[in-house]
Chain A
């Protein structure tokens, strides 16, 4: 188990190392960063001076090692455009993205668990069919287009909700629905399947036979067990939502790190982009590592393989 754990941690580090190397070389393939910093009207001497100042005249490998060693100490450099430390820019905005992701996953659960439960209680009923239809169409609906359609409907025609910014809770309503709905088909299906299985199990029959009220059987006995895998899947979706937040935050002008990465890419602000890619990748790698270790702990056969 210990050997397996160590091996997995080493592999996780190697993956992050390769990702950071790829990101770094990719961003240094783009237009001359010295030109970006100095601006369009800068003279050749200015550009040359900037190049020396930032060390762009050094070999790429050396630049990468410098960048990486500082990144490991929590210093991602300064934004080319805003001249502010990247760490500050990100830490000031990550709360918005996390709030959005959290709200979106809660929204998805609030929709999918009751709908999935109702569908499981009466398979092939109208509610069941309705839930299925929502899921099938939801899968083919492009997230960003759904967001735009909501803006037209609720922001412009009915004027119920603000369409841009993040000053009040009302600003989060549409982004939450846009980001959250995409997770509902998968979560709803899992709830439905789990509930159908649990409702036909022996202990539910016993509970009914004991004369417990249907409400108590459904909520205290059945749902409690069926919900565990649903929550596990919801955690996975939280990870995907970081990626989805780029489009949604841009559409709603919600200034989290999704919006920040869009803004940084528009301005070729490389330090910001590199930092965000590395953060997203680390998030993924750590989640994977934890889940693998958890699985290995629960099922020791895995670590032998």
Chain B
């Protein structure tokens, strides 16, 4: 526990976030040194399937037909159809196609969220770390205020205020999940600020923006990627939970969280409607976690 406040996961120090975390060690023990490989293979497969969705999906994910609603997947005996391997949902849309397009939505949300939150967090962290003093105090206050806001509840409220849509969910998550970026960037910039070549750049009169972008930024890149994987998994799970409660992506978009919401009323007779999208979420998040662990080992070890 060291001296760090035991009360908050949110207020981890940069070392705690970047060190091969306890969970990472666990995963490594389970997957030996293959975690990067396994994670990368699953993740790249999901990304490829999502990118080439029109090629892989047998049907249009939006094509409804009540005549073929709630078809069973292939492992059932009755009411199956060879054309619809994983069955159909309550309005007769092909479930396999919707699952494939659902990967697009999750990945889109994951990537765009970390693009926004990464930009905000990095900007705040680098500025706080480089200038220190009062600037640092203000940024610290902003970080602590953000941590005091209950993310899930405020995200729901924001979705109510601005209307539920894919854009709003991405914006809201992007505006919320920057705290780890800021903490890590701040601490690494503080260390980098006193490196000899940065001092040298300052001495020969380079401008502050030039120093930050050309001298400091390359130092933080690898840590940035590691934090990005953590936050991406986080964003994907949050979006799924928001959409599941009806405060996220709206119908007819094939989001995995929303599919769980729509399948809920049929859970008694067609439980696979719930089992399949959840498995997708589980695999994607597991892959991102494993990939992030591997990345951390490869990049951060080399630097030391």
Which A residues lie at the B interface, using CB under 8 A? 11, 14-16, 18-19, 22-23, 26-27, 29-30, 129, 132-133, 135-137, 139-145, 148-149, 151-152, 156, 185-186, 189-190, 193, 229, 232-233, 235-236, 239-240, 242-243, 246-247, 250, 261-262, 265-266, 268, 273, 276-277, 280-281, 284-285, 287-288, 290-292, 295, 299, 302
Interface size on B, residues (CB 8 A): 53
Q: Are A156 and B268 in contact (CB under 8 A)?
A: yes
Closest Cβ of chain B to A173, distance in Å, is 18
Please tell me which one of the listed residues B5, B141, B160 contacts residue A265 in the complex, with CB atoms under 8 A apart. Answer: B160
Residues of A within 8 A of B245 (CB): 246-247, 250, 262
Residues of A within 8 A of B247 (CB): 265
Q: Are B23 and A268 in contact (CB under 8 A)?
A: no
Residues of B within 8 A of A288 (CB): 5, 7-8, 11, 144, 148
Q: List 10 A-B contacts (CB under 8 A).
A: A23-B157, A26-B158, A132-B29, A132-B30, A142-B241, A149-B275, A152-B268, A236-B7, A277-B153, A291-B5
CA distance A19 to B240 in the complex (A): 25
Interface flag for B149 (CB, 8 Å): yes
Residues of B within 8 A of A232 (CB): 1, 6
Those of B150-181 within 8 Å (CB) of chain A? 150-154, 156-158, 160-162
CA distance A156 to B268 in the complex (A): 7
- Report the nearest A residue to B271, measured CB to CB: A152
- Report the nearest A residue to B281, measured CB to CB: A142
Residues of A within 8 A of B237 (CB): 142
Q: Which 6 residue pairs are nearest across A and B when measured between Cβ atoms? A: A145-B278, A140-B286, A30-B161, A291-B7, A280-B150, A140-B285
Q: Are A27 and B141 in contact (CB under 8 A)?
A: no
Please tell me which one of the listed residues B1, B27, B151, B264 contacts residue A243 in the complex, with CB atoms under 8 A apart. Answer: B151
Please tell me which one of the listed residues A152, A189, A240, A290 contacts residue B9 in the complex, with CB atoms under 8 A apart. Answer: A240
Interface flag for B289 (CB, 8 Å): yes
CA distance A301 to B281 in the complex (A): 45
Known: A145-B278, A292-B5, A299-B3. A284 touches B162 (CB 8 A): no
Max chain A CB contacts within 10 Å: which of B26, B233, B237, B285? B26
Residues of B within 8 A of A281 (CB): 148-150
Closest Cβ of chain A to B271, distance in Å, is 5
Residues of B within 8 A of A190 (CB): 22
Known: A23-B154, A152-B274. A16 touches B148 (CB 8 A): yes
Main secondary structure of the interface of A (DSSP, over half): helix
Please tell me which one of the listed residues B145, B264, B268 contacts residue A19 in the complex, with CB atoms under 8 A apart. Answer: B145
Max chain B CB contacts within 10 Å: which of A30, A142, A151? A142
- Report the nearest A residue to B269, measured CB to CB: A156
Interface flag for B52 (CB, 8 Å): no
Closest Cβ of chain B to A288, distance in Å, is 6
Q: Are A145 and B281 in contact (CB under 8 A)?
A: yes
Q: Are A229 and B244 in contact (CB under 8 A)?
A: no
- Report the nearest A residue to B159, measured CB to CB: A265
Those of B21-66 within 8 Å (CB) of chain A? 22-23, 26-27, 29-31
CA distance A302 to B2 in the complex (A): 13
How many pairs of A and B residues are in contact by the CB < 8 Å rule? 172
Please tell me which one of the listed residues A26, A149, A185 contacts residue B23 in the complex, with CB atoms under 8 A apart. Answer: A185
CA distance A92 to B268 in the complex (A): 32
Please tell me which one of the listed residues B149, B244, B282 contacts residue A140 in the complex, with CB atoms under 8 A apart. Answer: B282
Interface flag for B105 (CB, 8 Å): no
Instruction: Given contacts A11-B141, A30-B160, A247-B245, list 12 more A-B pairs with CB under 8 A.
Output: A15-B144, A27-B157, A30-B162, A136-B31, A148-B274, A149-B275, A229-B6, A232-B1, A246-B245, A247-B152, A285-B148, A302-B3
Which B residues lie at the A interface, using CB under 8 A? 1, 3, 5-9, 11, 22-23, 26-27, 29-31, 141, 144-145, 147-154, 156-158, 160-162, 233, 237, 240-241, 244-247, 260, 264, 267-268, 271, 274-275, 278, 281-282, 285-286, 289
Closest Cβ of chain A to B70, distance in Å, is 16
Known: A26-B157, A136-B26, A140-B286. A233 touches B6 (CB 8 A): yes
Closest Cβ of chain B to A120, distance in Å, is 13
Closest Cβ of chain A to B171, distance in Å, is 13
- Report the nearest A residue to B144, measured CB to CB: A15
- Report the nearest A residue to B277, measured CB to CB: A145
Please tell me which one of the listed residues B6, B26, B241, B274 contacts residue A149 in the complex, with CB atoms under 8 A apart. Answer: B274
Q: Are A137 and B286 in contact (CB under 8 A)?
A: yes
Residues of B within 8 A of A139 (CB): 23, 27, 286, 289
- Report the nearest B residue to A146, measured CB to CB: B278
CA distance A210 to B27 in the complex (A): 38
CA distance A30 to B246 in the complex (A): 17
Q: Are B278 and A29 in contact (CB under 8 A)?
A: no
Q: Are A186 and B23 in contact (CB under 8 A)?
A: yes
Residues of B within 8 A of A143 (CB): 241
Q: Are A18 and B8 in contact (CB under 8 A)?
A: no
Known: A26-B161, A142-B281, A232-B1. A277 touches B274 (CB 8 A): no
Please tell me which one of the listed residues A129, A136, A235 contacts residue B6 in the complex, with CB atoms under 8 A apart. Answer: A235
Q: Are B156 and A265 in contact (CB under 8 A)?
A: yes
Q: Are B153 and A276 in contact (CB under 8 A)?
A: yes
